């Protein structure tokens, strides 16, 4: 399996029970090969079941999970990841992330990053990374595990929340940007600028938003419960936007953050004028 983070994957946030089983099954049938889950999603066992039932070989897949804040201590992190692996029916994941920096919780960053590095050394995960970290905390994490060890920072990023300063910092550090909430809970789907671009390409607005993120070098992990939308989203990989269209989308920034949980989120980096 390549060590690069796949540019396109399936997100499973908020999908539970048979809904997530069907979503993963449909996605794998359509050709998705990267699946993103997390301990707090409460769906790792169902994701594992859908993968097992699919017949797709484990080595053909890229699996990501995320450690929840309850399991950040050195005493818990590795054992909690082993439990995740049991649910996912595999002996390793390809990527394990710290889900939130959670500055209000008692376990210091150095402890959970060291424990995450230990999980990698044990072969439980091929790569390690972070999620929802700002620039300052990313620098701290690099200081603990070393340059080149953090594969990605998975952050909320959409045409309405472009996070340019953080994204630029990550790319300069050689850390892959993974965009979640790329469609801003569907809010961008009615955007007139994206709709006009989509019409020119005979594409959907979702495809335009996803293509925009991938064209900037970001990985995307959209979720859907609809087989039709799963198939349509996948086609975003073939869409190429012009420089002028990319510039049009750049004007849509409005600080439209959808996820900002108190006690878990850091102090967000504020973009300067583009």
Q: Please list the active-site residues.
A: 41
Q: Which of 117, 126, 40, 121 is nearest to 90 (CA)?
A: 126
Query: What is the number of residues in the chain?
Result: 274
Rounded to whole angstroms, what are the CA distances from 104 to 8, 100, 129, 143, 266? 32, 11, 20, 20, 9
Residue ranges for the known binding site for substrate are 99
H or E element that contains 207: helix 205-215
**Interior/surface letters 115-126, b for 16+ CB within 10 angstroms, e for the rest:** bbbebbeeebbb
Do the Cβ atoms of 65 and 43 come closer than 8 Å? no
List residues forming the annotated binding site. Answer: 99
């Amino acid at each position: 399996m390549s060590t690069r983070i796949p540019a396109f994957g399936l997100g499973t946030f908020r999908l539970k029970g048979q809904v997530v089983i069907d979503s993963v099954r449909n996605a794998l049938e359509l050709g998705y090969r990267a699946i993103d889950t997390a301990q707090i999603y409460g769906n790792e066992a169902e994701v594992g079941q859908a993968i097992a039932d699919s017949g797709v070989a484990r080595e053909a897949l890229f699996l990501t999970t995320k450690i929840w804040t309850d399991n950040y201590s050195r005493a818990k992190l590795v054992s909690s990841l082993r439990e995740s692996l049991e649910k996912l029916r595999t002996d390793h994941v390809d990527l394990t992330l710290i889900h939130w920096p959670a500055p209000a919780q008692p376990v210091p960053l150095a402890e959970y990053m060291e424990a995450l590095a230990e999980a990698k050394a044990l072969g439980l995960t091929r790569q390690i990374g972070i999620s929802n970290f700002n620039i300052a905390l990313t620098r701290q994490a690099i200081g603990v595990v070393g340059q080149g060890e953090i594969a990605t920072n998975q952050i909320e990023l959409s045409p309405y929340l472009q996070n340019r300063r953080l994204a630029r910092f990550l790319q300069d550090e050689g850390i892959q940007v993974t965009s979640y909430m790329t469609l801003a809970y569907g809010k961008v789907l009615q955007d007139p600028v994206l709709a006009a671009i989509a019409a020119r390409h005979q594409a959907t607005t979702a495809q335009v938003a996803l293509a925009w993120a991938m064209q900037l070098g970001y990985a995307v992990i959209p979720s859907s419960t609809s087989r039709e939308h799963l198939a349509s989203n996948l086609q975003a990989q073939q869409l190429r936007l012009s420089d002028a269209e990319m510039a049009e989308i750049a004007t849509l920034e409005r600080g439209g953050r959808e996820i900002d949980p108190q006690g878990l989120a850091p102090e967000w980096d504020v973009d300067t004028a583009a």
